[in-house]
Amino acid sequence: MKVVKKIADVRQLRWQQAGTWGLIPTMGFLHKGHLSLVEAAREANDFVGVSIFVNPIQFDQAVDLEKYPRDLDRDLKLLETAGADLVWVPAAAEVYPANFQTYVAVEKLSQPLEGAAREGHFRGVATVVALIFNVFQPTRAYFGEKDAQQLRVIRRMVSDLAFNMEVIGCATVREEDGLAMSSRNARLSAEARQQAISLHQALQTACKAFENGEQDAQKLKTMMRKVIDEHTLTKVDYVSVADTETLQELDKIGNQALLSLAVFVDDVRLIDNIIVSH
Ligand code: AMP
């Protein structure tokens, strides 16, 4: 496994190996969710590239960026075991040199949900992912359904800007009790970790109600809020019942919907989602 910092070094290695390349962009502090993407890429491609970069321009809160967990040595060991071929670990100045001034905006899809809660978030995500795609020029790139809106924003960008590659979505990997794996989970106290299960429980509660015939989005949202509000350390940022493609809020669910939520548990902001369908 090669570990490089410079764009030129990624380019050189990528083009020395002419086969298919799978790419996994990450912000590091890797867990089994990330490794499931590496595994999916390993199965379908000749080579696997990973980027590790905590992208400053997608954080709207300086303190969130500062507190984002990092452990490069551990990440590289995990990637070596998982069978990655090339890891790009750029410094911020390699990605955003002085005078950088070009940004990608995926307009409508970026507005609701995470986009409404985190000013400029998807402009930052789309810009860095476009740049990483141009550096690696992968055959396929792998993203988690855990970040459902991000996956849709990236798919739109790839389609609209005619990137010559495929975007693959992978299922959310969860802890045994249902909590979606996230690098941010490492910041939870023992008590907060216990209460963080409420995100999954809220989604499950609404999912069961939908399966039992409830189609009213407002009622499902109230149910989800109630599950979260029963805990002492939690604060709902948003709960949503939206169209799975456009991400616009629904009044009444037809065949399917994306149920999603963002919750502060102590001061750690967690997100989760599930698609319900008949
Ligand atoms: P991040 O390092 O948080 O930017 O995530 C890098 C990639 O891993 C993104 O495509 C995420 O959606 C994906 N990912 C994060 N958590 C999970 C999870 N629990 N299951 C599956 N994929 C995940």
Residue range 182-205, pLDDT digits in tens = 999 999 999 999 999 999 999 999
pLDDT at 67: 92
What are the strands, taking DSSP E only, across the chain? 2-4, 21-26, 47-52, 86-88, 140-144, 166-170, 234-242, 256-265, 268-277
The model's pLDDT over 66-94, given as tens digits with 9 standing for 90+, comes to: 999 999 999 999 999 999 999 999 999 99
Mean pLDDT confidence for 33-48: 98
**Residue among 36, 37, 167, 184 to mutate when testing ligand 1 (max atoms within 8 A of CB):** 37
pLDDT at 29: 97
Report CA(175)–ligand 1 centroid distance (Å). 14
pLDDT at 276: 98
Active-site residues, by number, are 34
Q: Residue 162: pLDDT band by 50, 70, 90 thresholds?
A: very high
**Residue among 32, 68, 146, 153 to mutate when testing ligand 1 (max atoms within 8 A of CB):** 146
Burial group, residue 63, by CB count within 10 angstroms (0-12, 13-18, 19+): exposed
- The predicted model scores a pTM of 0.98
DSSP annotation string for 35-86:
HHHHHHHHHH-SEEEEEE---GGG-S-HHHHHHS---HHHHHHHHHHHT-SE
Report CA(114)–ligand 1 centroid distance (Å). 15
Atom of ligand 1 nearest to the CA of 30: 2
Residue owning the nearest CA to atom 10 of ligand 1: 143
Residue owning the nearest CA to atom 12 of ligand 1: 144
Q: Which amino acid would we find at residue 139?
A: T
Mean of all residue pLDDT scores within the chain: 98
The model's pLDDT over 103-112, given as tens digits with 9 standing for 90+, comes to: 999 999 999 9
The model's pLDDT over 135-157, given as tens digits with 9 standing for 90+, comes to: 999 999 999 999 999 999 999 99
Q: Residue 277: pLDDT band by 50, 70, 90 thresholds?
A: very high
Report CA(51)–ligand 1 centroid distance (Å). 12
**Residue among 48, 147, 260 to mutate when testing ligand 1 (max atoms within 8 A of CB):** 147
Report CA(214)–ligand 1 centroid distance (Å). 30
Residues with CB under 6 A from ligand 1: 26-27, 33-34, 36-37, 143-144, 146-147, 170, 172-173, 180-183
The model's pLDDT over 200-252, given as tens digits with 9 standing for 90+, comes to: 999 999 999 999 999 999 999 999 999 999 999 999 999 999 999 999 999 99
Atom of ligand 1 nearest to the CA of 37: 22
